[in-house]
Amino acid sequence: MTRPTPATLLRVGLPLLLLAVLAYLPYVPASIPGLLPGRINGPGSMQLLATCLVFAGFALSYDVLFGRTGLLSFGHALFVAAGSYLLTVSLSTWSLPLPVAILAALGGTTMLALVVGGVALRVGGIAFAMVTLAFAQAASIIVLRDPGGVTGGEEGKALNRDAVPSILVGVQNAPYRYWLALAFVTVAFVLVRLLVRSRAGHAMAAVRENEGRAAVLGLTTYRVKLLAIVVGSFLGGLGGVVHALVLGGSSPSLTSAEFTLSLLVMVVLGGAGSTWGAVLGGFLYHYADARLVEAGGSGVFDVLPDTLRAVLSQPLFILGAFFVVVVYFAPSGLTGLGGRLIRKTGAS
C-alpha cells in the first residue's frame, strides 16, 4: 500500500483544518476591532461572515463557466435569483414544505439553465455574453414589475418564516445560519474539485484552451459547454436558496447585471480557474464591500476634504481601484500572486 506523500497530506489536511477552524468560530467570544462588528460569535459578525461565505459559493459557481470552460456569461445572476425566488415563492405563495420547495427551486433552476444555455450556445464569443445578458435583464424586469404580486417588486420577497426551521430564524440563531452558509460553500467546493478532476472537467479545460482543437479531437463542445452552464447554474441556484434562508428573503439586486459583473470581478480577483481563488475572491469582495459601506455611513471620512470624501465614501470606487491594481500587478489573481511568492521564498 502506497503511503501518502507530505504534499498530499498537506493538500488534504489544510482544507480540513481550515474547515474545522471556521466551524468553531461561533464558539469564539473574542473581538477583532476594525475587522468585525463586535464579537466574532456575535450576531452581526456571524451574519456578515455567513453572507461572505455565500458569495464565495456564488463565485465558485461562476468559475465553472468562466474559469473552467472559458464562457463569459453576463446572465449568471438569472440562475442565482431563480433559486432564491423559487424558494421564497414556493414557501410563501404555494405553501410547499421546505424540502419540496428546495427541490422545486433547484429543479426549476436546472431546467431554466438547459433552456437558456441551449439557446445562448447557438452563438459564441461576445454574442453569447449578450444573449445571456438579455435573458437576465428580461428576468430582472419581470421581478421588478411584480406580476400578480408574486415577486414583491423592488422590496423583494420575504421568506415565510413559519415554513423554516426555528433555528434559522431570529438574531440569536445567527450561528446556525453561518453553519448553513459554511456547509453550502463546502459542498460547492467539493463538487467543483470533483468536477475538475473528472473526464468532464478535462473536457471543459480543453474547450477553454482551444475549442477548435477540442472539436477536432472528437469532443462535442456544445454538450461540454452546456454541461458547464447546467452545473454552474445548479450551484448558483443552490446558493440562491441558501442566500434566501440566510437573509430571510429574496432581493431584486440578485437579478441585476451588476451582480453578474461583480461575480466576474470576484473570480478574476481571486484567480480564474482556481477553486481556492474563487472562494477567496468571493469572500474578500463581499467582505470589503460590506465593510466599506458601513465605513462610508459612519462618518469616518468626514475629516477629509470634500472631493476626497465624496470619492472614498463610494465602495465601488475603492473596490474598482483595488481590482485594477490586482489585475495589473497580479494577472493570475491573488492565489497566483501567493503561489509565486511561496515559490520565490522556497527558491531562496
Say yes or no to pLDDT of 312 above 80: no
27: helix, strand or coil:
helix
Find the helix packing angle between 221-247 and 43-69, rounded to 10°: 170
- Domains (range + CATH), the chain: 40-347 (1.10.3470)
Q: Whole-angstrom Cα distance, residue 177 to residue 283? A: 16
Q: 46-60, 169-183, 201-215, 298-312: lowest mean pLDDT where? A: 298-312
Question: What is the pLDDT at residue 187?
Answer: 97
pTM over 0.85: yes
CB 64 within 8 A of CB 232: yes
Written as one letter, the residue type at 174 is A
304: helix, strand or coil:
coil
Say yes or no to pLDDT of 314 above 90: no
Question: What is the pLDDT at residue 6?
Answer: 64
CA proximity to 72, closest of 120, 14, 34: 120
Q: Which residue has the higher pLDDT, 270 or 314?
A: 270
Q: Whole-angstrom Cα distance, residue 215 to residue 327? A: 31
Say yes or no to pLDDT of 153 above 70: yes
Using the Cα atoms of residue 296, residue 297, residue 303 and residue 309 in order, give the sign of their dihedral.
Answer: positive
Q: What is the pLDDT of residues 252-292, one digit of tens each?
A: 999 988 898 899 999 999 999 999 999 999 999 999 988 88
Non-local CB neighbours of 253 within 8 Å, separated by 6+ positions: 259
CA proximity to 14, closest of 231, 279, 264, 205: 279
What percent of the chain has pLDDT above 70?
Answer: 89
Q: How confident is the model at residue 8 (pLDDT cuts 50, 70, 90)?
A: low
Say yes or no to pLDDT of 143 above 90: yes
